[in-house]
Structure 1
Amino acid sequence: MQAYVGWWILAAVLVGIELTSGTFYLLVYGVAATVAGMAAWLGAGMVVQLLTAGVIAALGTLALRHWKRSTGHPESTVQDMDIGQAVQVETWQNGRGQVKYRGALWDAEAESAGVDSTHPMIIRAVKGNTLVLGNLGER
């Protein structure tokens, strides 16, 4: 078997596995194997093929890590969707209590000492599993 065929089979396997993982790293390695296969097809020696695959894989990995760091973090946007939503107070005492939100009971704390649990309350922030609440219309 020719070296380029081996590289292209490796590339196809890597890209096929990538389709099930969704991380993009195996896609980068599949591209590196494809280019190394092209180098082999053009008659380059094994050292050049390995260097080509290694350099492309390393540069692609660095570029992918940079891209992933520069994109937004989905976990923070999920919490941001909760901010501003109304809650129903179940129990409340001394600025802490439990509220009903999205069909479940949540621990909650007041945003400030001036929060009145007898008035409508909304989520101002999320700290771990605790909702930080304030009164509707106040800031």
Structure 2
Amino acid sequence: MSAALSASKGVVEAPPLPLITMLAPTTPAGRMEQIARNARGFIYLVSVTGVTGARADVPEGLAGLVARVREHTSVPVCVGFGIGSPEQAKAVGEIADGVIVGSACVRAIDESQDPVEAARSFAQRFSQALR
């Protein structure tokens, strides 16, 4: 475990909440293995480089990236970044243990006259796609 990870783990990890680690497509193989081996709770796997927000398609090579991470961990691998539609969530859900959607939900709420209804509808559409 790196010195930075060891130091931050003691500060932010308090029972029952584990420190959730993040991996990206650009994470070097050796570091990815180290982080995955020490992960608790789940791994947040960033699907694409760049900023968060919806993309047109699920990134090519995502299934291989998820498989590489799984080789080194027993915790769930959850994918986020760039997931903006129920169809994309379904596609990601078929290869990952979990799907993380943030920006698309915030945008739906922000663009609505009824934020509560927007959040409910958003959650319903995405959860139905993942069944």
Query: Which TM-score bucket, shorter chain as reference?
Result: under 0.3
Larger radius of gyration: 1
Structure with greater helix share of residues: 1
With CA pairs under 8 Å and 6+ residues apart, which has the higher RCO, 1 or 2? 2
TM-score by length of 1: 0.19
